Amino acid sequence: MTSRVALVAAGSRGIGRAAATALARDGCRVAICARDRSALDAAAREIAAETQADVLPIAADVSRQADADRFVDEAAAHFGGLDILVTNSGGPRSAVFDGLTDQDWREAVDLLLMSVVRLTRRALPHLRARAAGRIVCVTSIAVKQPVPGLMLSNAIRAGVTGFAKTLAGELAPERITVNCVAPGYTRTDRVVELAAATSQREGISAAEVDRRTLAAVPMGRMGDPRELGEAIAFLASERASYITGQTLVVDGGYVRALL
């Protein structure tokens, strides 16, 4: 993928950073965004040092349309085009239905769904101008098997999957693929936050939450963000040129569904 340009949203830590690193290691020039400027700049320096790639940090909150548009515009202007878009964001608050307000739902829709819609809309003209564009949406195992206590994520990430599946059919004649990667339990800050929320909600220790989680994963461990990054890089590569409209679950066997 030498000389290809990739945009990775929420690329300063966790799965986003792992995806940016994997793409940079494969030869891409990479733009990453995040809200925290200092963490973003540090991540860009470290990814560049590790991979010798050109990494552009752009401070942006993808839940805001102006920021999402600016992220795409600045990256495309800096690199002279765009080949790969990886949509990603932090997660919404953990809560059951009775604990959620209309504002919680609006914020979650902007964060999880509209960020994908807006980034894709802005990036699509650039992808169409290049050969064989790639869109990879980071979702969650919640799209296959809802997770207790994650009402917002369970409901809205399914919408992202529907969006991606429909868009894949529309863009297939143009050789632009659209796929999703659905992480299972992965060692990220987000999983630590969710364990703390479950601990408080159920009155058990965070260690007990962790033990229960690992017991449900056939591999007996959580994923490493690097494993997710490699899956994303694969779907963004020429090796995946005949794969579109799919959700690749990376979960150590956690989801029991057949499809």
**How many domains are there within the chain?**
1
CB 175 within 8 A of CB 131: yes
pLDDT at 238: 95
- The CATH number of the domain holding residue 78 is 3.40.50.720
pLDDT at 187: 87
Query: Would 259 be classed as within a structural domain?
Result: no
Query: Would 257 be classed as within a structural domain?
Result: no
Query: Would 85 be classed as within a structural domain?
Result: yes
Residue with token string 């919680």: 104
pLDDT at 182: 98
Query: Would 256 be classed as within a structural domain?
Result: no
Query: Would 12 be classed as within a structural domain?
Result: yes
Query: Would 151 be classed as within a structural domain?
Result: yes
CA 15 from chain center: how many Å? 7
pTM of the entire predicted model: 0.94
Query: Would 52 be classed as within a structural domain?
Result: yes
pLDDT at 209: 86
Query: Would 19 be classed as within a structural domain?
Result: yes
Query: Residue 66 sits in which domain range?
Result: 5-250
CB 17 within 8 A of CB 43: yes
Q: pLDDT (tens digit, 0 to 9) for every residue of the chain, 259 residues total?
A: 778 999 999 999 999 999 999 999 999 999 999 999 999 999 999 999 999 999 999 999 999 999 999 999 999 999 999 999 999 999 998 899 999 999 999 999 999 999 999 999 999 999 999 988 999 999 999 999 999 889 999 999 999 999 999 999 999 999 999 999 999 999 888 888 878 888 888 898 888 988 888 999 999 999 999 999 999 999 999 999 999 999 999 999 999 988 8
List the one residue out of 193, 229, 191 whose CA is nearest residue 213: 191
H or E element, residue 177: strand 177-183
